[in-house]
Amino acid sequence: MNMYDLIRKKKEGGILDREEIRWMIDGYTKGSIPDYQMSAMMMAVCFRGMNAEETGELTLAMRDSGDVMDLSAIRGVKVDKHSTGGVGDKTSIALLPLVSSLGVKIAKMSGRGLGHTGGTIDKLESIPGFRTSLSEQEFRRQVDEIGLALMGQTAELAPADKKLYALRDVTATVDQLSLIASSIMSKKLAAGADAIVLDVKCGSGAFMKDFEDAKALAEAMVGIGRHAGKKMRALITNMDQPLGDAVGNALEVQEAIDTLKGKGPADFTELVLALGARMLLLAELETDVKAAEERLEEAIADGRALEQLGRFIRAQGGDDACLSDDSILAPRGGCAELKASSDGIIIHMDCAEAGMASLMLGAGRSRLEDSIDPYVGIRFLKKTGDTVRAGETIALLYYSDEAKEKAAEERLASAIRIAESAAEGRKAIILDEVE
């Protein structure tokens, strides 16, 4: 087999078979296939596409390029959840303790964030003492003991994807559906769960701006998961404005805690219940979405979910005093107000721009090596569809550096549009489902 022939085959619209894909991924991971040939292949895939079979085989080859977590010793159905990422997305921090408080086993690997705000790992690390660098043994033991553990992705997890993603990033070949779906799913499959719920974001703050693209990505990922023998469900959810009211690391953890106390923002609570219900269904603890949501609501109301969050924080070395003392995760430094420039209705809030404003305050990273400030961010008092009066506060910006605040406030102001009347109402948070 040689790479020249495979590139030519794909360039001419041919279908790569399992052996060819495995040989190519293996050679690229080991360094026997150079970047320039792989770049040509990625570009050929961008123009010619891959069918479902090829996409599935590419994913499995990338999964098998490194360690695959073996969770078989842990009893019960292990359910994972993945979000394609958005602004204010603190879902896992509320969702995982909630669902595991009802007996679902969760062994989750998460990443750090690049852009907007931090990733789940960065957010959790704003809890004093919280540790995510668990050994595999600690990780498995914790899932067995308390039903929930979360660790950072190891370098040995799908190394082919790591190398390939870095190459795609500099060769304008990231935005191809099969390549995105296989990249995400190779890491999910390597993490070893039996069932996966996907939260595919759609809108101005998401990777996929259009509904049709988000739906196609969700279908491709569900198809790959099933090809690999996993039980799958996906929701397509709205990311046209920040999720919940808080954007920033400690701020978002506080919002997740508040949600498990039954005091969360309506959109965020609805999303957590919707994803949680699907996780209960996949774990075969419920057969009906509505009944599952009711059970989740009960676990919030009777304090079980919050107790499980406390157990989770303590097991990972964190101080659970933040569950009763709001000052621990409170913003530090100054607070500025973004005020409405006129009377009217907020008709648009560019979500990616709101994320950029938060990054400019120091809550996110522009480069992987940047550090983040856990105690800065934005709290929205008004969202799309809300009526405002001139001079009324739309958002609070928490900052540590005045110059950064000025720039962030300007950026946020230009992301928000106010009109005398709204053409349409607020969009739902759940847009569609792939079962």
Work out how close the CB of 133 gets to ligand URA at its nearest, in angstroms, rounded to a whole number. Answer: 20
Task: Specify whether 227 is catalytic.
Answer: no
Stretch that binds ligand URA, among 48-56, 57-65, 127-135, 179-187 (CB under 6 A): 179-187
**Catalytic member of 187, 278, 382, 411:** 187
Q: Say whether residue 360 binds ligand URA (CB under 6 A).
A: no
Among residues 180 and 434, whose Cβ is nearest to ligand URA?
Answer: 180
CA–CA distance, 363 with 115 (Å, rounded to integer): 9
Among residues 82 and 379, whose Cβ is nearest to ligand URA?
Answer: 82
Among residues 165 and 375, whose Cβ is nearest to ligand URA?
Answer: 165
Coil/strand/helix, residue 431: strand
**Catalytic member of 183, 186, 204, 358:** 183
Work out how close the CB of 210 gets to ligand URA at its nearest, in angstroms, rounded to a whole number. Answer: 16
Rg (CA), the chain: 22
Stretch that binds ligand URA, among 96-104, 177-185, 297-305, 318-326 (CB under 6 A): 177-185
Residue span 397-426 as binding mask against ligand URA, x where in contact by CB under 6 A, dash where not: ------------------------------
Task: Specify whether 183 is catalytic.
Answer: yes
Residue given tokens 């070893």 in the structure block: 192
Contacting residues for 16 by C-beta, under 8 A, at least 6 apart: 6, 9, 10, 24, 50, 54, 57
CA–CA distance, 201 with 234 (Å, rounded to integer): 10
In contact, 230 and 195? CB cutoff 8 Å: yes
- Taking CB under 6 A as the criterion, the residue among 23, 28, 130, 165 binding ligand URA is 165
**Catalytic member of 82, 140, 365, 382:** 82
- Taking CB under 6 A as the criterion, the residue among 25, 107, 151, 180 binding ligand URA is 180
State the residue number with the nearest CB to ligand URA.
183
Q: Say whether residue 198 binds ligand URA (CB under 6 A).
A: no
Stretch that binds ligand URA, among 180-188, 312-320, 335-343, 367-375 (CB under 6 A): 180-188
CA–CA distance, 3 with 11 (Å, rounded to integer): 12
Work out how close the CB of 18 gets to ligand URA at its nearest, in angstroms, rounded to a whole number. Answer: 21
**Catalytic member of 63, 162, 163, 168:** 168
3-state secondary structure 286-329: CCCHHHHHHHHHHHHHCCHHHHHHHHHHHHCCCCHHHHCCCCCC
**Catalytic member of 64, 80, 161, 373:** 161
Among residues 161 and 255, whose Cβ is nearest to ligand URA?
Answer: 161
In contact, 50 and 9? CB cutoff 8 Å: no
CA–CA distance, 288 with 295 (Å, rounded to integer): 11
Q: Max CA-CA distance within the chain?
A: 69
Q: Which of 113, 340, 367, 61 is nearest to 247 (CA)?
A: 113
Q: Are strands 195-202 and 148-152 parallel, antiparallel or unpaired?
A: unpaired
Among residues 101 and 186, whose Cβ is nearest to ligand URA?
Answer: 186
Q: Which of 334, 426, 430 is nearest to 382 (CA)?
A: 426
CA–CA distance, 251 with 247 (Å, rounded to integer): 7
**Positions in 243-282 near ligand URA (CB under 6 A):** none
Looking at residue 153, the DSSP 8-state letter turns out to be: P
Work out how close the CB of 434 gets to ligand URA at its nearest, in angstroms, rounded to a whole number. Answer: 18
DSSP H or E stretch at residue 7: helix 3-11
Q: Say whether residue 183 binds ligand URA (CB under 6 A).
A: yes
Q: Which of 200, 229, 71 is nearest to 148 (CA)?
A: 71
Task: Specify whether 108 is catalytic.
Answer: no
Among residues 218 and 388, whose Cβ is nearest to ligand URA?
Answer: 218
Work out how close the CB of 293 gets to ligand URA at its nearest, in angstroms, rounded to a whole number. Answer: 29
Task: Specify whether 82 is catalytic.
Answer: yes
Q: Say whether residue 184 binds ligand URA (CB under 6 A).
A: yes
Task: Specify whether 210 is catalytic.
Answer: no
| Footprint of ligand URA (CB under 6 A) | 165, 174, 179-180, 183-184
Active-site residues, by number, are 82, 161, 168, 183, 187
